[in-house]
């Protein structure tokens, strides 16, 4: 299952970044697919991107509500909010574990045996909610200039995915842009390297502490249509699920946790008793009961 997840991650990244002509056109893709909303954090300005980022679009709506209403962009942004809301209510944070390009990058970096691995302090996990409320919602809406226009605070000052996927590639294909570099770029470059290096030491640190999209999706984890559930009668409280979880949670003690990215490693790699189940509309779909499979295999061998 983990191999399948990696293939899905790679395929999703490839599909949302499939404009391979940018080295020759020297610009970002502006074709018909650009009206599609990427479910994960994937920068609109990435030269290869064929979709747009939901976080960036929400900020664009809020930083100029009056202008959006006048130009019709409000309806487009409403579509973005509706799309993200539909994904969240249907699958919770599964996008983070299966479809997000920057999440995949962090996972690959964490495999580098360079530092002693460690977990983030629990208090830091609340940072992503502050980022969502302040940098995505309130600052773009309330901190405006004389013309009533705000700024896309998260994209402009923080987003490491945007720097990696868009900022650096654009500097490569448009060298003239280097003359315009200033504090804002170097600030974002610092945050990019900070999170990339941190990813080597800690699993998915950006997802745990800073990502506003993950914060939004996570709110719906407890009542999403597709989710992981616990069969308490089968759980032995062994804690094996916590040992494989990239988000550092123990599933049997935090069912419906906002941190769970639905990677399903706990179900497929750790739990031997089928205690962790994948469900659809509260109906169990699958449980990897290794113990039962082994018993059935031994029973079959004894009878043959």
Q: What secondary structure does DSSP assign to 129-145, as a single string?
A: HHIIIIIIIIHHHHS--
Average pLDDT over the chain, rounded to an integer: 89
Of residues 139 and 291, more confidently modeled: 139
User: What pLDDT was estimated at residue 199?
Assistant: 98
Q: How far is Cα 24 from Cα 35, in angstroms, rounded to an integer? A: 23
Q: How far is Cα 20 from Cα 136, in angstroms, rounded to an integer? A: 30
- Any idea what the Cα angle at residue 188 is, between residues 183 and 190, rounded to 5°? 95
Q: pLDDT band at residue 304, thresholds of 50, 70 and 90? A: low
Domain boundaries, the chain: 2-218, 226-303
pLDDT(298) > 60: no
pLDDT mean over 165-173: 94
* Residue 37 · residue 84 · CB < 8 Å: yes
User: What pLDDT was estimated at residue 36?
Assistant: 86
pLDDT mean over 150-174: 94
Predicted model pTM: 0.90
User: What pLDDT was estimated at residue 295?
Assistant: 52
Q: pLDDT band at residue 82, thresholds of 50, 70 and 90? A: confident
User: What pLDDT was estimated at residue 161?
Assistant: 96
pLDDT digits (tens, 9 = 90+) for 233-263: 899 999 999 999 999 999 999 998 999 999 9
Which of the residue ranges 36-50, 55-69, 150-164 would you say has the lowest mean pLDDT? 55-69
User: What pLDDT was estimated at residue 141?
Assistant: 87
User: What pLDDT was estimated at residue 303?
Assistant: 59
pLDDT mean over 168-184: 93
What one-character-per-residue DSSP string does the chain give? -HHHHHHHHHHHHHHHT--TTHHHH-S---SGGGGSBPSS---TT-TT-SSB-HHHHHHHHHHTHHHHHHHTHHHHHHHHHHHHHHHHHHHTTHHHHHT-HHHHHHHHHHTSTTS------GGGGGHHHHIIIIIIIIHHHHS--TTS----HHHHHT-HHHIIIIIHHHHHH-GGGGGG--HHHHHHHHHHHHHHHHHHHSSSHHHHHT-HHHHHHHTTGGG-SEEEEE-TTT-----HHHHH-TT---GGGSTT-TT-----HIIIII-SSS-EEEEETTEEEEE--HHHHHHHHHHHHHH-
């Amino acid at each position: 299952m983990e191999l399948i997840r990696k293939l899905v991650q790679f395929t999703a990244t490839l599909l949302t970044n499939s404009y391979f002509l940018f080295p020759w056109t020297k610009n970002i893709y502006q074709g018909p697919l650009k009206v599609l909303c990427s479910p994960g954090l994937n920068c609109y300005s990435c030269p290869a991107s064929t979709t747009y980022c939901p976080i960036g679009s929400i900020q664009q709506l809020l930083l100029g509500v009056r202008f959006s209403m006048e130009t019709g962009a409000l309806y487009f942004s409403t579509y973005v909010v509706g799309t993200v809301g539909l994904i969240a209510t249907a699958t919770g944070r599964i996008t983070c574990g299966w479809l997000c390009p920057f999440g995949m990058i962090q996972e690959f970096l964490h495999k580098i045996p360079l530092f002693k691995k460690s977990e983030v302090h629990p208090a830091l996990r609340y940072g992503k909610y502050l980022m969502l409320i302040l940098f995505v919602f309130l600052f773009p809406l309330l901190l405006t200039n004389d013309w009533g226009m705000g700024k896309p605070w998260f994209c402009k000052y923080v987003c490491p995915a945007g720097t990696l996927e868009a900022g650096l590639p654009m500097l490569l294909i448009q060298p003239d842009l280097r003359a315009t570099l200033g504090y804002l770029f170097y600030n974002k470059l610092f945050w990019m390297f900070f999170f990339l290096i941190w990813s080597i030491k800690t699993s998915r640190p950006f997802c745990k502490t800073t990502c506003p999209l993950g914060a939004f999706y996570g709110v719906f984890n407890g009542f999403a249509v597709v989710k992981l559930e616990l069969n308490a009668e089968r759980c032995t409280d062994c804690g094996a699920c916590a040992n494989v979880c990239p988000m550092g949670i123990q599933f049997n003690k935090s069912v419906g946790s906002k941190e769970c990215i639905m990677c399903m490693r706990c179900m497929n790699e750790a739990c031997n008793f089928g205690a962790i189940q994948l469900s659809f509309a509260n109906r169990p779909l699958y449980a990897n009961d290794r113990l039962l499979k082994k018993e059935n295999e031994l029973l079959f061998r004894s009878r043959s």
